[in-house]
Each structure stands twice: as C-alpha cells, then as structure tokens.
Amino acid sequence: MHISEGVLATEVWVGGYVVAGLVTAAIIKKLDSEDLPKISVITSVFFVASLIHIPLGPTSIHLIVNGLVGMVLGPAAFLSIFVGLTLQALLFQHGGITPLGANAVMMGIPALCAYGVFNLRKKIPLKHAEFIFGAMAGLTGTVLSGVFLATLLALSGEAFYGVAKAALWAHVPIMIIEGLLTGFTAAFLHKVKPEILEKEKQYAS
Amino acid sequence: MHLDIDKYAHIHSPVHRWDPRIKIASLGLFIVTIAILNKLPLIVIAFSISSLLVIVSRLPFSFVTRRLLPVTIFLSPFFIIIPLTMPGDTATTLGVSFNYGGLLIAAKVYLKALSMVMLSIVMIGTAPFVDSLKAMERLGVPSFIVQMFLFTYRYIFIFLLEMKRMNRAMKSRNFIKKTDIHTVRTMGNFVGMLLVRSFEKADRVYESMLSRGYDGGLKTSFNYTIARPDYFKAAALSVACVTLLIY
C-alpha cells in the first residue's frame, strides 16, 4: 500500500517526513550495530514477501506484510518499513520520494500497533493463541494502514474524498486475506522456530 | 517488478558525468519544487524540463516508460472517481453528475507525478545504485540508515532466488494458487519458512562481518570529485526551480 507522487498536499507530506523522522530517531537510539545486519536481512525478506501475489477471483492481490513486520521486529519494524519503502520508491518507482515520510507513517505506525496486539497473547491465554493474535496483528496492520491512507488523502483536499473512500473499500479483501495469512505465519513460526516471536531475546540492548 | 534501476548507469551522458552528490541534491530540489506547484501552465513547463532531462540522460525510452507504469496504475482511477464524487459545479448527463473541474485536478496530479517519477529515474538511474547510496551518506543521511539500505539491497537478490527455489519446489508438488483457505495457509507457511531461513542467515552474516573487522562503521571508497560543470548544471536547475516557484 502506498500513496504515489504528486497527490498529497505540501503540508501533509512535509508533516509525514517530520513524524517519520522523529520516530526513526527515537528508534535508532535504542539499537546498536549488532542489530543492524539482522534487521537489514529481515527487511529484505519482507521486501521480497511483499511481492507475493495471492489470487482473488479474476485478479490477484499482493501482500502488504506490515503487521507481520511489527510482529517479528517489534519497535525496529518502523525502521524496517521506512527502508523497505525507500528502496521500493528508488528501485521500481512504487510510491515516491516526496510521499515517503507519509507512506512510512501510514505503514509503520500500524506495524507498531500490530506488535502491541500480538503481545496481548501473553496476557490472554487462549488455545491457538499464535494463530488468533497473529491474525489480529495482520488485521491491525492492514486496517489501520487503510484508515491512514484514507485520512492522508482526505487531508489533501476535498477533491480526494471520493478516492479516499474507494481506496478504503478496495482494501477490505486484502485486509481479510492478510489477517489470515499472518495468523498462519505466526502459527508456523511458533511450531518451527518460536524464538523468532520472542523479542526480548533478540534485542538485549 | 524490475530491480535493474542502474542497468544503464554505465552509458555516457551529461547527467551521468554529474557528481552524484550534486545531482541528487539538485534533482531532489526540483522534485520538491514540482510537489509544491499548483498551476497547470507551470506544471506543463516542469513536465517539459523533466522530459528534457530524460532525453539528455540518454536512458532508453522503454526503460523509462516501463517505470512510469506503477504511478499510472495508481492514478488512473482518479480520472473517474474525482469527477464523479467532487462536489461543486457538476454537469448532469444521463442522470450521472460529472464535474469537469475534477478532470483538471486529476490531470494536474498525474502530470506532476509523471514529472517527479521521471526525475527520480534520472536521479537514481544514472549511477551505480551503491554509489548513489554513498552519495546520500555524504549528503547527511545517517550512516545507520545508509548501511541498512546497502545490506537490504544486497540481500533482496539472495531472497528473490530463495523464493524462486521454494516456488519451484511447490510447483513440483502440484501446488496451484487459488482463492481458498488452503492457498492462504500454504503461503503463510511459505513466508514463515522464508523468515526462518533469514534469521539463520542473519546470524551467520553478522559473524562473518565481525570476523572481517566490522565495527559498526562504513568503510568504502567513493571516487568522485566535484568540478566546475557540476556546479553549472546545479545552478541552471536551481534557477529553473526558483523561477517556477516565483510565478
């Protein structure tokens, strides 16, 4: 999910850069050089995973993966998404240079929320907790991003109200598929390599 | 999906000879200028300058147009939705109210977006991608982030191959993607498997970097010097930006 070049009002994309810059600075402070290669390697996996297509009737959708990034990386997810979006903009012109900050906020803040949602599983013991909270994390990521997308478009002018509404509705099937898929991924990771889902062990710092 | 943005980094043109630091800063300034523009005649002038820069850069036409596809797909619904939903001066034909002012807004947005994307192709497509990243570091982008770009860029290619291999393995087991829960579950496991492999790889990468003396810093060569023509080109573009902003 991204907003393309030329759409956002100046105040909106500048504001996006300010928010994204502040969040990034706060997160970088907490990381050390040991985390860098790890976050980067995982960022490239997400980059590649966002190219996966799932058929939907006659068309197909591609994964957004921001809920999944939040679930796996925790706070560093914002940085990972920022870097991933920049590379998408520079390497194949998805999104763009001026809306980059706004796009990072639109995808990154929901990823942080998804992380919070996924962590609830420790407080609420359920059967199949990984699947349930993973699916909720995936939903949180995509639904909030959709809301951000619509809000940013609407903030850019009255003319975009209709587009904002259409964009939100168009994302509903993606939200459902992405939620389920994230749940399955969480369940798989819990079975195969549970330490990936335990953040405390990875970032001792 | 085309990852070969620097495929034509080694041809010769005045843009290719431009120092990457000054090139990125000047074209970045121009992109920001276009983002602010709002009047159609000015947008048309900016579009012409951007097209001229594409021609001067000698990047092949098909290479550029292929990269204008994503923005075109994203923005084409605007031409229908905005005129149909924008309030104000509407003309009603066959019971459908259509706002021609909305068509103008969509056209302005699309023309601006095309110009900006063309400029970003010229900005990044005329030097090896790694050199562009190093130039960004020299321009003040934090080293931590530039290093993340470098690593991520490197490993994207490795995981693309990994994904291709896993795809082939699934195909050989007769897996066909459909719109059903089985497909979603299988793809969920697929992503999980990619992650498991990447975590194992990440640890090995870090250990091998440590053994080669990695201390958190970036040590690379950057063989560019700024000469007088670099400044001339930057000055010409800055004058264009200021002129567009004044009018």
Mean pLDDT in residue range B218-228: 78
CA-to-CA separations, B122 to B1, B8, B14, B37, B42, in angstroms, rounded: 18, 10, 11, 20, 21
Residue A204: its pLDDT value, please?
39
Q: Nearest CA of chain B to the CA of A107: how many Å?
A: 17
**Quick check: B35 and A42 CB within 8 A?**
no
Interface test with B, best of A45, A78, A181, A197 (most B CBs within 10 A): A45
Residue B55: its pLDDT value, please?
93
Which residues lie across from B91 on neighbouring strands? B98
**Quick check: A193 and B78 CB within 8 A?**
no
**Quick check: A40 and B3 CB within 8 A?**
no
Residue A200: its pLDDT value, please?
56
User: Looking at the predicted structure, is the pLDDT value of residue A37 above 90?
Assistant: no
The A residues from 27 to 56 touching B (CB cutoff 8 Å) are 28, 31-34, 36-45, 47-49, 51-56
Specify whether the backbone of B96 is left (phi greater than 0), alpha (psi in -120 to 50) or beta: beta
Query: What six digits make up the tokens of B214?
Result: 């990695």
| CA separation for the pair A85, A93 (Å, rounded) | 10
For A10-202, CATH number? 1.10.1760.20
Alpha helices per DSSP H over A74-202: 77-92, 100-119, 129-155, 161-170, 172-192, 199-202
Residue A149: its pLDDT value, please?
92
Q: How high does pLDDT run on average in chain B?
A: 87
3-state DSSP assignment of residue A59: strand
Choose among B3, B82, B196: nearest Cβ to A159: B82
Q: How many CB atoms lie within 10 A of CB A29?
A: 8
Residue B120: its pLDDT value, please?
94
Choose among A55, A160, A166: nearest Cβ to B178: A55
Residue A101: its pLDDT value, please?
94
Residue B2: its pLDDT value, please?
64
| CA separation for the pair A30, A36 (Å, rounded) | 12
The string of pLDDT tens digits covering residues A161-174 is 888 988 899 889 89
Residue A205: its pLDDT value, please?
38
| CA separation for the pair B31, B112 (Å, rounded) | 9
Residue A71: its pLDDT value, please?
92
CB-based contact, A190 to chain B, within 8 Å: no
**Quick check: A166 and B195 CB within 8 A?**
no
Q: How high does pLDDT run on average in chain A?
A: 88
**Which residue in chain B has the smallest CA separation from A93?**
B67
Residue keyed to tokens 């390599």: A193
| CA separation for the pair B19, B42 (Å, rounded) | 28
Residue B80: its pLDDT value, please?
86
User: Looking at the predicted structure, is the pLDDT value of residue A121 above 90?
Assistant: no
Alpha helices per DSSP H over chain B: 14-17, 20-36, 40-56, 61-67, 69-85, 100-125, 129-138, 143-172, 181-211, 228-246
Interface test with A, best of B24, B103, B162, B198 (most A CBs within 10 A): B198
**Quick check: B151 and A40 CB within 8 A?**
yes
**Quick check: A163 and B2 CB within 8 A?**
no
Q: Which has the higher per-residue pLDDT, A88 or B90?
A: A88
Cα-Cα end-to-end distance for chain B = 39
Choose among B35, B162, B202: nearest Cβ to A10: B35
H or E stretch including A55? strand A53-56
ipTM of the complex in this document? 0.89
Of the pLDDT bands very low, low, confident and very high (cuts 50, 70, 90), residue B1 is low
| CA separation for the pair B113, A7 (Å, rounded) | 8
Of the pLDDT bands very low, low, confident and very high (cuts 50, 70, 90), residue A201 is very low
Percent of chain B with pLDDT over 90: 36
b/e code B134-168 from CB counts within 10 Å (16+ = b): bbbbeeeeeebbbbbbbbbbebbebbbebbeeeee
Query: What six digits make up the tokens of A1?
Result: 């999910």
Residues in A touching B70 (Cβ below 8 Å) = 4, 92-94
Do A115 and A71 contact (CB within 8 A), yes or no? yes
User: Looking at the predicted structure, is the pLDDT value of residue B234 above 90?
Assistant: no
Residue A199: its pLDDT value, please?
64
Mean pLDDT in residue range A53-71: 86
Mean pLDDT in residue range B107-135: 92
Residues in B touching A44 (Cβ below 8 Å) = 151-156, 158-159, 198
Angle of the A77-92 helix axis to the A66-73 helix axis, nearest 10: 140
Chain A / chain B CB contacts < 8 angstroms: 236
Q: Where are the domains positioned within chain A?
A: 10-202
Do B166 and B190 contact (CB within 8 A), yes or no? yes
Choose among A33, A86, A180: nearest Cβ to B184: A180
Residues in B touching A45 (Cβ below 8 Å) = 155, 159, 194-195, 198
The string of pLDDT tens digits covering residues B49-94 is 999 999 999 999 999 999 999 889 888 888 888 888 877 766 677 6
Cα-Cα end-to-end distance for chain A = 32
Do B126 and B214 contact (CB within 8 A), yes or no? no
- Identify the DSSP state of A4: P
